[in-house]
Amino acid sequence: MRQTRLFPIVNGTLLTVVCFLMVAPMLHLLAVSLSAPQYANARIVGLWPRGFQTDVYAEILRSPWLWRSMAVSVYITVLGTLIALLLNSSLAYSLSRAFMPGRKWFLKLILLTFIFPVPLIPSYLLVKELGMLDTLWSLMVPGAIGAFYIFIIKAFFQGISSELFDAAKIDGSSEAGIYAKLVLPLSMPVLATIALFHAVGQWNSYFSAIIFLRTKSLYPLQVLLRNMIVEDGSNSGIDNNFQLNMQFTPEMMKAGIVLFATVPILIVYPFLQKYFVQGAMLGSLKE
């Protein structure tokens, strides 16, 4: 009985510590961005700002380059996620149907891509031949389909009761109609989960933009942030007034932009959290 009472206390304490360790870096960045330059430059700011000021965020919000990059990031994240959901769910639905010709061979080929990813040079040459080089399509289309997503969605589709499919066929629905009107509405939990996974990956991705893009006005937000951190602000694509403002230290600007780039994806998470319970509709049909 004593062990039963002790377990929730220990478990809650450990989870609280883990949560604090996850939140602590964000609190530190917030404290640095809100501190006075002399304290941030001396690297003596912990989890609480020293010499409180908000001029960094006023400067960030005045930068047209950051807003343009933010718009690019939102665009490729939203549209790229929709493309990924459409392609992955339609392919997974086809593979979940037992009567699909060559189904096992397609599954083996998809599994092969999961084990051996596409090398960089062939991927670059393919994007170039398709005319997507230096366009935003190069950031959304090549990585839209993933073996991991397909197998998860396929397993969910196969868990839907076969009697629902039989009833839809009796009503005269085609395979496309069953997919659009029956399967997709029942699959909101898994689709929302895949959407969040892909959206976070799309939002945080910068390597594809470095490889495929040449025009600085197409840079997503993460590329500017990467250039500021790696190259210390040089050639980052940010206007000179923003770079040379000596009122702030580089550490303050980096901290502020990291938070500026993180908040949008954090806002999306609570709206998708309720869909994370997988299989919410399974078993709704009584045998």
Query: What pLDDT, in 10s, does the model give residues 193-224?
Result: 888 889 988 998 889 999 999 888 899 988 88
State the pTM of this model: 0.80
Whole-Å CA distances, 88 to 149, 150, 216, 278: 7, 6, 31, 17
Mean pLDDT of the chain: 82
Most confidently predicted of 39-53, 55-69, 72-86, 250-264: 72-86
pLDDT band for position 284 (cuts 50, 70, 90): very low
pLDDT by residue (tens digit) across 153-207? 998 888 888 888 888 888 888 888 888 888 988 888 888 888 888 998 899 888 9
| Paired tokens of 61 | 């919000």
The answer to whether the beta carbons of residues 275 and 242 sit under 8 Å apart is no
| Paired tokens of 214 | 């040449």
The answer to whether the beta carbons of residues 173 and 181 sit under 8 Å apart is yes
Work out the average pLDDT over 233-240. Answer: 47
The answer to whether the beta carbons of residues 126 and 111 sit under 8 Å apart is no
Q: Could you state, in order of their start, the residue ranges of all structural domains in the chain?
A: 1-53, 62-276
What CATH superfamily is the domain 62-276? MetI-like (1.10.3720.10)
The C-alpha torsion from 140 through 144 and 149 to 155, rounded to 10°, is 130
pLDDT at 241: 43
DSSP class of residue 160 equals S
| Paired tokens of 284 | 């709704």
